[in-house]
Amino acid sequence: MIKFIAYIALFIHHLAFSEGLSGSNVSTAVLDNGLKIIIKTDRRAPVFISQLWYKVGASDESQPITGISHMLEHMMFKGSRDYKSGEFSRIIARNGGDENAFTSKDYTAYYQKMHQSKLELSIKMEADRMRHLSFSDAELTKERQVVIEERRLRVEDNPNAKVYENLRLISFDSKGAYHAPIIGFQADIENYHLSDLRHWYETYYAPNNATLVVVGDVDPERVIEYATRYFGGYKANPNIDNNKNRPSIALNKQSRILKLKAKLPFYAISFHVPSLATTDSENKAYQLEMLAYILDNGLSKALMRDQQIVSGISVGYRLYDKFDTLFTISFIPAQGINSQNILQMIKIQVRELIEKPHLIEAELRRTKVQLEADFIFEQDQISTQSYYLGMLSSVGLKINKLLNYVARMNQVSTQDVANVAKQYLNPDMLNYVELIPQGIK
């Protein structure tokens, strides 16, 4: 079964190490063909998670092949050179493993969680499907139906998911990233050809477009040895970066009313903001992240607990998106409350935060303590640890960003929070989607 062993001698001396994190238990390496490797040891239990992250996702797609990264993710379980369709999952399962995959805007990732004795098996099998996937029309026909069912389940029959889908449609131009849904438009899902999938695979599934992240009770030398043995023989694809100049394009002052068969209204607002990867000053990104926490707490207290004009409210910011992203506020109006009145209250809260930043002093202090504790709590799951490492690597950020997170957040002042609120939460520019329920039956 070990078909790549001959390559080790050729490639081992090109191993290069970079950006290790001093003071942490993280090691990194890059193979000669560009495959990045990140290893974090965690010996609390005799298990590991191995994730292979590809830098490709919905943000690389446009019509008529939206959702193709996700479709390909499904096809990755449908057989490769060494394994028949479904056999990958069966072998992992009978070796005690838990496995799955996920696709997002900026990445597609595959993982196995297993007992530490199964490390080589996991890496060997993942390597096989990086370059040797079988493409069968019969499998595509069936799996396409599975994906359409997934879309019906997640989006079509879920009114709030439709609101978020529409918010991205109106907030980003279709010529750039983040416009189309990750799962794709139904018409596109219905029409991919096998050749589209093969092309996508051959373009993006290359070692220099991937990061292997392993967290758990492993010996970093072994991880690198196995990665070298099984991935080392693959050639880099020198043309990948040419395909990646498709940043998001902001649209402002857009709105859409959705009249759906639903019981509850829902309202979502977006503002355009930079991410940590795109900002001209990293401080700004952390300040926006802090603003999201402070507003989420502040609005929950004022609108949900005190005034009781919303049944739920949530503020979101995607610090680790690859391109310029959205700062969102979404809420469910309480029964009988006009959404415009709620919007007015949100604007008042934001204005107060901008004009009187000293009022959030205590809140800011508590949030910092909470973030510091959350950082420890997150170490409890090896999957959370590997998720952050893989995501950072996939959007082109150094992984020391993870360790610096708490320190950077601790530097944010009340005035900083007010400043980014003033700069980015401009009420004249916001986009919104409103769901007006039409009742059921």
Partner 1 sequence: MKFLIILLLLTTQTQAKLNIMHWTTPEGAKVLFAQTKGLPMLDIALNFDAASSRDGVKFGLATLTNSLLGTTSKYHSQEQIIELFESVGAQFSTHSLKDMAIVSLRTLTRQDNLQVALNTFTEVVTQPVFKNKYLNREKKQTLHSIRAIKQSPASIASLAFDKAVFAGHPYEHTRIGTKASLANISTLDLTQHYQTYYVAKNLTIALVGDISKTKAKQIARQISHGLNSGKKAPSNPLVKMLKKSQNIHIEFPSKQTHLLIGQTGINRAHPDYYSLYLGNHILGGSGLTSILSDDIREQKGLAYSVVSYFTKMKSNGLFLVKLQTKNEQANQAQEVAIKTLENFLNYPISNQHLQDGKNNIIGGFALKIASNANILTYLSIIGFYDLPSDYLSRFTDKIRNVSAKDIQIAFSRLINMDKFIILSVGQAQ
User: Within positions 258 to 317, which residues make up the interface with partner 1, using CB under 8 A?
Assistant: 261-264, 301, 305, 308, 311-312
Nearest CB to partner 1, comparing residues 92 and 397? 92
Q: Note whether 199 binds partner 1 by CB under 8 A.
A: no
Q: Note whether 32 binds partner 1 by CB under 8 A.
A: no
Of 7-15, 54-62, 271-279, 313-321: span binding partner 1 (CB under 8 A): 7-15
Residue 287 to residues 26, 363, 364, 412, Cα–Cα distance (Å): 27, 14, 11, 6
Q: Note whether 404 binds partner 1 by CB under 8 A.
A: no
- Each residue 339-368 as x (binds partner 1 by CB under 8 A) or -, in order, gives -----------------------x--xxx-
Of 51-59, 190-198, 238-246, 433-441: span binding partner 1 (CB under 8 A): 433-441
- Each residue 223-252 as x (binds partner 1 by CB under 8 A) or -, in order, gives -xx---------------------------
Query: Of the candidates 86, 238, 396, 427, which one interacts with partner 1 according to CB under 8 A?
Result: 86
Chain positions 37 to 56 lying near partner 1, rule: CB under 8 A, are: 41-47
Query: Of the candidates 3, 4, 7, 12, which one interacts with partner 1 according to CB under 8 A?
Result: 12
Query: Of the candidates 53, 77, 107, 331, which one interacts with partner 1 according to CB under 8 A?
Result: 77
**Nearest-approach distance from CB 28 to partner 1, in angstroms:** 8
The rounded distance, in Å, linking the Cα atoms of 203 and 14 is 24
Query: Of the candidates 84, 142, 235, 347, which one interacts with partner 1 according to CB under 8 A?
Result: 142
Of 51-59, 126-134, 239-247, 371-379: span binding partner 1 (CB under 8 A): 371-379
Of 152-160, 271-279, 342-350, 351-359: span binding partner 1 (CB under 8 A): 152-160
Chain centroid to Cα 440, Å, comes to 34
Query: Of the candidates 239, 280, 358, 441, which one interacts with partner 1 according to CB under 8 A?
Result: 441
Nearest CB to partner 1, comparing residues 383 and 426? 383
Nearest CB to partner 1, comparing residues 42 and 60? 42
**Nearest-approach distance from CB 437 to partner 1, in angstroms:** 8
How many CB atoms lie under 10 A from the CB of residue 398?
13
How many CB atoms lie under 10 A from the CB of residue 239?
9
The rounded distance, in Å, linking the Cα atoms of 367 and 375 is 12
**Nearest-approach distance from CB 282 to partner 1, in angstroms:** 24
**Nearest-approach distance from CB 47 to partner 1, in angstroms:** 5
Nearest CB to partner 1, comparing residues 6 and 93? 93
Q: Note whether 190 binds partner 1 by CB under 8 A.
A: no
Q: Note whether 76 binds partner 1 by CB under 8 A.
A: no
Chain positions 101 to 140 lying near partner 1, rule: CB under 8 A, are: 113-115, 118
Asked if residues 165 and 155 have their Cβ atoms less than 8 Å apart, the reply is yes
Nearest CB to partner 1, comparing residues 115 and 246? 115
Nearest CB to partner 1, comparing residues 77 and 432? 77
